[in-house]
Amino acid sequence: MLTLGILGSGSGSNMQAILDAISRGGLSARIAMVLSDNPDAFILERAAINGIPSGVIDCAAHRSKFPESVQQHTARKLQDAGVDLVCLAGFMRLVKQPLLDAFPSRIINIHPSLLPEFPGVEAWQQAIAAKARETGVTVHVVDSGMDTGPIILQEAIPVLPDETPGQLHARLQIVEHRIYPEAIKQYSRNFKL
């Protein structure tokens, strides 16, 4: 059984989708730890409701950076929890060494675009601004770049005429919740975790 660690900054809806897939028997895994850089994030409450150990990644002194010392501490916490695979679920900081060194090719991320298009934040707004005809969701292995690692799974959806960024984001989240558990399953088969 795959042991997962989840890093998130927000509501944790993708973590919930993973939990639901585990409960249904669609994913042979368990979530051993949930960590958030936002002490008020609902993902921490979801973890508590489900009896999953959780904690806060203390980046308070750094608005957007993920300092090396904090990444070292995060890596140790995940390793101590026996995590095989780290899943970023709306985690809004760029992961670098030493976390990448601690989990080589074992950190994955879900992103609301068809990478390499629209990397970075608010990809749904980027798609609307670019008048894209389609966008989608990508699950990829995390490397040292921003949304640049090897792709595990993608699914495209059309951008509807006169669609607002909020409407597109809501439709993308439905896709995210469906494909993230599937991508974890595919990844675990291909990488023999």
pLDDT (tens digit, 9 = 90+) per residue, 133-148? 999 999 999 999 999 9
Average pLDDT of the segment spanning 100-119: 96
Domain ranges of the chain: 2-190
Q: Containing H/E element for 180?
A: helix 165-190
Cα 23 to Cα 17, 41, 50, 123: the distances in Å are 10, 23, 11, 30
* Structure token digits, residue 30: 């368990």
**Per the CATH hierarchy, to which homologous superfamily does domain 2-190 belong?**
Formyl transferase, N-terminal domain (3.40.50.170)
Catalytic residue among 62, 73, 111, 169: 111
Q: Is the pLDDT of residue 61 over 90?
A: no
Is the pLDDT higher at 70 or at 135? 135
Residue 78 has a CB neighbour count (10 Å cut-off) of 26
pLDDT at 28: 95
Whether 70 contacts 57, CB under 8 Å: yes
pTM: 0.94
Q: Cis link prior to 161 (omega < 30° from 0)?
A: no
- The string of pLDDT tens digits covering residues 91-108 is 988 899 899 999 999 999
* 73 has catalytic annotation: no
Model confidence band, residue 66 (pLDDT cutoffs 50, 70, 90):
confident
Q: Which residues lie across from 158 on neighbouring strands?
A: 134
pLDDT at 58: 87
